[in-house]
Chains A and B, each alone.
Chain A
């Protein structure tokens, strides 16, 4: 599904060049469950941003579903994100003035789906994540776990092939975190490719394939055969 070849990412910080990613080669198959771990500043999030098309590599080739993505314009990349990629963030990033239902509806609005079809999809999603009662609550009226479930609902309502989660449990208590992880793993079980960046070794160990990064390079790539 994803092939990275010789990916480099160099940041220019105050005139100094910082190598955030060095010569990353990575193949990800559809349906994979991968965790990326490593110390702060090791380039985990940068790698995730590049895979999620939020950032462009300084060098290298990126094939997404057999297409060379690096050659696309910003707006064409936006279309790929809109149709194929879902994001889950540590800080949820819900729009505070919109209700849970409206937050989940956002990607459908951006895709131009007519309102009648949207309503049904949103209702199904809310129900699937146990948020039926909370549809018309605003983010500040929801618990952390509920907020992250809204965020996952928003990321998956377009039925993306790839779900990227950056510290999805980093801002949650144990119980809510566990709940969220189970939802993500259920999604993976239904075929979605799941990529999780985390500090939490317990969460990281659950993935079938585990990458360890240090100083912008992948130093360890272990797969569990199940």
Chain B
């Protein structure tokens, strides 16, 4: 029997039982579509998060005071209060070719007022370097000027939303505002940027770091951002930061350095695993579809007993009958998978239209896996009915009318 006749015979057999074939196609299609859509959701979330992080610049190191370590032992008897990070620490970090920029940061909250209006806002103490490290852009005016960090001018840069709330449509440049109990002159307004790293820069007021220290009456820094000149420099920079701060803190390693890459890699792993899990759960529906195919093929074999007996009487050997029924199962799986792919891709495209911010797209591994699993389950669960058909005794099969 040549392959074309083989396919055609299987195809007409499927067409002969429309309802049955339709139901099986539906089951397979739902399974495959579920895998495609769910993995597209997971992949979309992953790409979104990774994209957000990448927008911050990927050569960033974040230095935090204190050592984040889970040792699992009893709490230490002598408490080791980590030393604070200071401006001197930040300045010391600059002395390496693996460090391009160092941006010390202080963060606090204070009331900002102008004229009759007052707003509670997050105040960030920073230096000129933060402009480049955080990829800020100015809407108006200029950013904090470079110069002597220890004797800062009383100037402030406002986030777009904060400016709007205080000044409305009026120009803020050159105006004197009050932050806490001090006065600052507005020299710039940031371009609208939105959320990044959990901080909304649109609602921020940025003042020189020393001014913030005296405003909040502290000597320490919230954290130090360090930018390495290249991807290769991230690791040496990290070693340099830790070594330098250890030397300055009496040989104690009491800081934590987070690299942007490690955060990114962690999120990437977590969300990648999530996508796999969701796709795996959806794949279970494919196996269910496989069981359905087996059930329906068994019914088909029972209903077509006479036909099978006839094929045997006409001289069809067992392997041919086995292959005919397996071909039917495979055709159903493949057609179902094709329909499921089309539906899944269409739904994904629809989701992209509805939520343009999230880059939904089923990863190619999920698509290939879905089709292979569909075909695999169709064949595996098709074997039992096909073998039953091939083993039928022609005399008994033909005895039925």
Contact = CB atoms under 8 A, between A and B. Distances in A.
Q: Which of A80, A91, A95, A98 has the most CB of B within 10 A?
A: A95
Contact of A54 (B15, B317, B395): B395
B315 interface: yes
A110 B1 contact: yes
Contact of B315 (A83, A114, A115): A83
A96 B309 CA distance: 14
Contacts of B314: 81-82, 87, 106-107, 110, 154
A89 B319 CA distance: 25
Contacts of A111: 1, 315
Interface stretch (B5-13, B72-80, B142-150, B259-267): B5-13
A143 B5 CA distance: 28
B313 A81 contact: yes
B401 A74 contact: no
A115 B307 CA distance: 22
Contacts of A97: 12-13, 15-16
A109 B395 contact: no
Contacts of B311: 106, 110
A117 to B, nearest CB: 12
Contact of A89 (B13, B16, B316, B398): B398
A224 to B, nearest CB: 30
A75 B317 contact: yes
B313 A79 contact: no
B320 interface: yes
Q: Interface residues of B toward A: which range?
A: 20 to 34
Given A109-B9, A112-B1, A78 B398 contact: no
B312 A109 contact: no
A225 B1 CA distance: 44
B317 A95 contact: no
Given A81-B313, A106-B314, A93 B319 contact: no
A114 B5 CA distance: 9
Contact of B318 (A54, A75, A112): A75
B310 interface: yes
Contacts of A89: 398
Nearest to A78: B317
Q: Interface residues of A toward B: which range?
A: 20 to 34
Given A54-B394, A93-B398, A109 B315 contact: no
Interface in A20-75: 49, 52, 54-55, 74-75
A185 B275 CA distance: 72
A54 B311 CA distance: 11
B2 interface: yes
B224 to A, nearest CB: 78
B322 to A, nearest CB: 11
A98 B315 CA distance: 18
B306 A93 contact: yes
Given A93-B306, A98-B12, A74 B317 contact: yes
A70 B106 CA distance: 97
Contacts of B12: 97-98
A91 B398 CA distance: 9
Given A93-B310, A97-B12, A109-B5, A79 B398 contact: no
A95 B1 contact: no
A83 B317 CA distance: 12
A81 B1 contact: no
A109 B1 CA distance: 6
Nearest to A80: B315
A107 to B, nearest CB: 5
Contacts of A80: 315
Interface in B1-56: 1-2, 4-5, 9, 12-13, 15-16
Given A81-B314, A109-B5, A109-B9, A49 B395 contact: yes
Nearest to A151: B310
Interface in B366-401: 394-395, 398, 401
A205 B312 CA distance: 31
A93 B394 CA distance: 12
B315 A78 contact: yes
Nearest to A52: B313
A95 B312 contact: no
Interface in A90-135: 91, 93, 95-98, 106-107, 109-112, 114-115
Contacts of B15: 97
Given A54-B313, A107-B314, 16 more contacts: A74-B318, A78-B312, A78-B316, A79-B317, A93-B313, A95-B310, A97-B12, A97-B16, A107-B315, A109-B5, A109-B9, A110-B311, A110-B314, A114-B2, A115-B5, A154-B314
Interface of B: 1-2, 4-5, 9, 12-13, 15-16, 306-307, 309-320, 394-395, 398, 401
21 contacts: A52-B313, A74-B317, A75-B317, A75-B318, A75-B319, A78-B312, A78-B317, A80-B315, A81-B313, A93-B310, A93-B313, A95-B310, A96-B16, A97-B13, A98-B12, A106-B314, A107-B315, A109-B1, A109-B9, A110-B311, A112-B2
Top 6 A-B residue pairs of the complex, sorted by shortest distance between their CB atoms: A82-B315, A97-B16, A75-B317, A81-B315, A78-B317, A109-B5
